Amino acid sequence: MRNGKGFTLTELMVVIGISMLLMVWGMPAFSKWKQKHDVENQVLRLYSDLQLARLTAYSQKVVAGVWWGDEQEFTAYQVRTDGNSNGNINDSISSTGDAQVGATVSSKWTIKASVDQNSVSFDGRGFLSPDNPLTFSISSTTGASINCVAVSATRIIVGKLNAGTCSPQ
């Protein structure tokens, strides 16, 4: 006579088999979703840091911005303020040079600037200085809904890169 408590080995093996099939089918979808999420997260982080630089410039009445170094494509950047009042944020970080506002941000994805310069800065009124609009983009094939940040004289927007133009989302 059967007791009826517990599972048989056959039932357990069927459940484990079904679970394994679901995991095998689900992992590629999860991996693609994770890459898409990482790209969108990095774009939003850059957007937030650019907004921080603009707010810092306006509130402290100094030149502030994002500095990424000598390459048009980069994987790390810093939010800086002009510590020696020379009107730019490209000096070295030291007691007599510029000040670093936040931590150095490292990106898993390569960020590309649309113009060949090493920083973007805002004057004490929060306007782009000099007025040289640019776009940051992360080129990926993940299908991210946002993959660019456009900076103009008075606005910073996030969007989707279409034919070289960052369209708001």
What is each CA distance from 56 to 53, 117, 133, 167, in whole angstroms? 5, 21, 19, 26
Query: Domains in the chain, ordered, with CATH?
Result: 9-168 (3.55.40.10)
Shortest CA distance to 161 belongs to which of 128, 136, 132, 142? Answer: 136
pLDDT in tens, 118-162: 899 999 999 998 888 999 999 867 788 999 999 999 999 999 988
The strand pairing partners of 140, in sequence order, are none
Per-residue pLDDT, 3: 64
Between CA 71 and CA 110 the distance in angstroms is: 11
Q: What is the mean pLDDT of each run of 10 residues along the chain (169 residues)?
A: 75 90 81 88 95 93 90 91 85 75 86 90 91 87 87 93 85
| pTM for this prediction | 0.82
Per the structure block, which two tokens stand in for 43?
């774009």
Per the structure block, which two tokens stand in for 137?
């983009």
Between CA 160 and CA 155 the distance in angstroms is: 16
Per-residue pLDDT, 95: 65
45 φψ region: left (φ > 0), alpha (ψ -120 to 50), beta (else):
alpha
